[in-house]
Structure 1
Amino acid sequence: MLGRTANGLFWMFRYLERAENTARLLDAGLRMALTRDLVTAEEEWRSVISTAGQQSAYEMRHASYTGHQAWNFMLREKDNAASILCMYKLVRQNARLARNAISGELWEAINENWLIIDEQLAKPVGENKVMDTVKTIRRAGTMARGALQGSMLREEGYHFSLAGMFIERADAIARILDIKYYLLLPSLSYVGSSLDTGQWDTVLRSVSGDRAYRWLNAGHIDARNICEFLILDDRFPRSLAFCHSQLRENLAALARLHGTEGESNALMRDADTRLSELSIDEIFEQGLHEFLIDFTATNASIAEAIATDYRFLS
């Protein structure tokens, strides 16, 4: 497979995952804002924009954090390269680049949903339409993953796609945890702290983990348990442990197909081993922020190694 085709598949699913993660954040923000007064709702939207990593870009264009401004900025702002509209455009561009390496079903899922999303975001989204738009974006991601799983040969293209998805998902979860943890808990001491359960509920909702977490923890919202769930519980498909175990499997499959291992396999093996040997107490002892910064740096190094190993720029 040509490096540029592999690059297209890898980034198609990175952007798809990034767009869906942004939609999940919006969904959580919308639900929280509905229960707040005007002033508190603005703080909620500030938190959502910050968690998405778009605060600087937003504040260059807007002086306040009203819901209408915030969600339209994240959904469709043309000058915002991280908007869902821009990201889904890149999903389709990369799908076209790799058109001969994906199934007809996957192309149809990407292309048809792009047309729907482009139409829905052609003009500012009002309060009566925003939830439907968010659902459309989340559904688009589900359809693309379903087409990938149900119609793609388990060859290079399949594994490059999943590698991109799990690299992006792990990065998103780590960043959400890091930003939210420090917004809620400036001190690293978590024992006996009084936490805003509504904000931690937003964390869980933004990663679609609220039902699974409550089922496992009898509905008890606790910072330590949430961190353990999102970092180490490999039963949850958006935990860091699950993402890295799946990434390791897909990189191992690529190595078998190519007949050789690269730097990405060695980095992945080391990272997965380190994570599997940690407990949540050890993570808190070293500092959650420090752990997450190290995790995101390692995740980025693995992504760079994948690009080098498989000559993405060739």
Structure 2
Amino acid sequence: MLSRTADHLFWMARYTERAENTARMLDVRVQYSLMPQSERAEQQGWRTMLGVSELNQQFDAKYATLSQKDVIDFMVRDPDNLSSITSCLRAARENARAVRGTLPTEVWETENTTWLMLQQHLKNRMFEHSPGQFLEWVKYRSHLSRGVTLGTMFQDEAFNFIRMGTFLERADNTARILDVKFRFLASDTIQAGAQGEFYYLAALLRSVSAFETYRKVYRDAITPKRVAALLILQEKMPRSLVACMCAVVANLQDVRNDLSRDTERQAQELHAMLQTVSIGAILDEGLHEFLTRFLVAVEELGNGISRDFLLPAESVPAPAPTQTQTQTQTQTQTQTQTQTQTQTQTG
């Protein structure tokens, strides 16, 4: 497969997943804001949500004060915010358009229709009048895109790159949510007592569609330790770190080439670590320290995938990065595509 085609497929999937993750975080935060809480707690809650995507500084540079209305506007439609739902769905659609010949018609039409419907929703300002309904629509369109891909696409290398992008993005997002939410939980902002902790942990579980799964697995009180164990180590939980890395490893094996041995080994080691580590060992190390180490490993893995699969071979002139990929490099700092191209050409 041409590296440029693989690149578009990989990022189409990552952007679609990122839009859904943003919608999930916003939806839970909007629902949680309806609960009785102090003004300080509400402000810190919105700050925490911005912190998941490392957007506090960018938000503060644009808005003098923090309000729910401004945060929703910033996270839904701000074109300068490259993690906003609008920016992500635009990038997903543009990457899909670039490889229409590789995708089944149903997949392309799903991505294109999502973008066209979004324009109507933004025009009607649905995200202001009915934020819950709008965010559910975003999640539904992501589910539809994933389902259509699974149901119609030939499971060749193109399919593997789509799946790899989805699960790498999901692993990064789950780790960020856990890290930021648990640090917030450890602060004195949460309403004191078991009731306040329960509602906060329940909201965290709902943000990754894991509330019912938690009840099925544990059938008991919701505790921070069990929530962390579920979202890190439970292999049957679709958004857990270990489940995401299992999928990344499987798809890497299917597309392996002569250059990817180190990247495949790195993914296997990260997966093996998650399979063998205990929640007790993670908490002894410190959840923040563990998740920070995991996020660094995911970043390095993303760089390895770009280096081994998504860049032109040394003998092929490297094209200038598209606007989509350039924006992604700036926002996530997980892709070193342009730097690697320069090193290859000058080396």
Common topology (TM > 0.5) = yes
Give the CA deviation at 1:287: 1.4
CA contact (8 A) 1:43 1:65 kept: no
Per-residue Cα deviation, 1:232-289 (whole angstroms, up to 9, x for no partner):
001100000100011111111112xx57753221111111111111000011111111
Summarize the Cα distance change of 1:306–1:283 in structure 2 as closer, same or farther, 3 Å threshold. Answer: same
Q: Which runs of 5+ in 1 are unaligned?
A: none
Number of the residue aligned with 1:225? 226
Summarize the Cα distance change of 1:127–1:260 in structure 2 as closer, same or farther, 3 Å threshold. Answer: closer
> How many residues end up aligned between the 2 structures?
308
Summarize the Cα distance change of 1:183–1:252 in structure 2 as closer, same or farther, 3 Å threshold. Answer: same
Number of the residue aligned with 1:79? 80
CA contact (8 A) 2:235 2:243 kept: yes
Query: Is residue 262 of structure 1 aligned with residue 276 of structure 2?
Result: no
Summarize the Cα distance change of 1:135–1:193 in structure 2 as closer, same or farther, 3 Å threshold. Answer: closer
Number of the residue aligned with 2:167? 166
Determine helix, strand or coil for the equivalent of 1:310: helix
For the residues of structure 2 that align with 1:219 and 1:70, how far apart are their CA atoms? 35
The one-letter amino acid of 1:5's match is T
For the residues of structure 1 that align with 2:221 and 2:31, how far apart are their CA atoms? 20
Number of the residue aligned with 2:179? 178
Determine helix, strand or coil for the equivalent of 2:123: coil
- The equivalences for 1:30-45 within 5 A come to 30-37=30-37, 39=39, 40-45=41-46
Query: Is residue 11 of structure 1 aligned with residue 21 of structure 2?
Result: no
For the residues of structure 2 that align with 1:233 and 1:122, how far apart are their CA atoms? 41
For the residues of structure 1 that align with 2:57 and 2:38, how far apart are their CA atoms? 22
Per-residue Cα deviation, 1:9-53 (whole angstroms, up to 9, x for no partner):
001101111110000001101110112357243332222222232
Query: Is residue 131 of structure 1 aligned with residue 135 of structure 2?
Result: no
**TM-score scaled to structure 1, two decimals?**
0.92
For the residues of structure 1 that align with 2:203 and 2:52, how far apart are their CA atoms? 11
Give the CA deviation at 1:129: 2.0
Determine helix, strand or coil for the equivalent of 1:154: coil
Give the CA deviation at 1:123: 6.0
Per-residue Cα deviation, 1:160-210 (whole angstroms, up to 9, x for no partner):
0000000000000001111111111159xxxx9997222222211111111
Summarize the Cα distance change of 1:195–1:293 in structure 2 as closer, same or farther, 3 Å threshold. Answer: farther
For the residues of structure 2 that align with 1:91 and 1:145, how far apart are their CA atoms? 13
Q: Which runs of 5+ in 2 are unaligned?
A: 313-317, 319-347
For the residues of structure 2 that align with 1:267 and 1:196, how far apart are their CA atoms? 37
Number of the residue aligned with 2:29? 29
CA contact (8 A) 1:184 1:195 kept: no
CA contact (8 A) 2:121 2:127 kept: no
The one-letter amino acid of 1:218's match is R
Query: Is residue 20 of structure 1 aligned with residue 10 of structure 2?
Result: no
Give the CA deviation at 1:96: 1.0
For the residues of structure 2 that align with 1:122 and 1:78, how far apart are their CA atoms? 15
The one-letter amino acid of 2:21's match is N
- The equivalences for 1:47-66 within 5 A come to 47-66=48-67
The one-letter amino acid of 1:245's match is C
Give the CA deviation at 1:219: 4.7
CA contact (8 A) 2:270 2:297 kept: yes
The one-letter amino acid of 2:153's match is M
**TM-score scaled to structure 2, two decimals?**
0.84
Summarize the Cα distance change of 1:181–1:160 in structure 2 as closer, same or farther, 3 Å threshold. Answer: same
CA contact (8 A) 2:259 2:308 kept: no
CA contact (8 A) 2:17 2:170 kept: yes
Determine helix, strand or coil for the equivalent of 2:249: helix
The one-letter amino acid of 1:29's match is R
Give the CA deviation at 1:224: 0.4
The one-letter amino acid of 1:270's match is E
The one-letter amino acid of 2:269's match is D
Number of the residue aligned with 1:117? 118
Number of the residue aligned with 2:337? none
CA RMSD, Structure 1 to Structure 2 (Å): 2.1
CA contact (8 A) 1:25 1:52 kept: no
CA contact (8 A) 1:195 1:223 kept: no
For the residues of structure 2 that align with 1:121 and 1:49, how far apart are their CA atoms? 21
Query: Is residue 276 of structure 1 aligned with residue 275 of structure 2?
Result: yes
Q: Among the aligned pairs, what percent are the same residue?
A: 31
For the residues of structure 2 that align with 1:136 and 1:193, how far apart are their CA atoms? 33
Number of the residue aligned with 1:147? 148
Query: Is residue 285 of structure 1 aligned with residue 284 of structure 2?
Result: yes
120-129 or 160-169: which moved more? 120-129
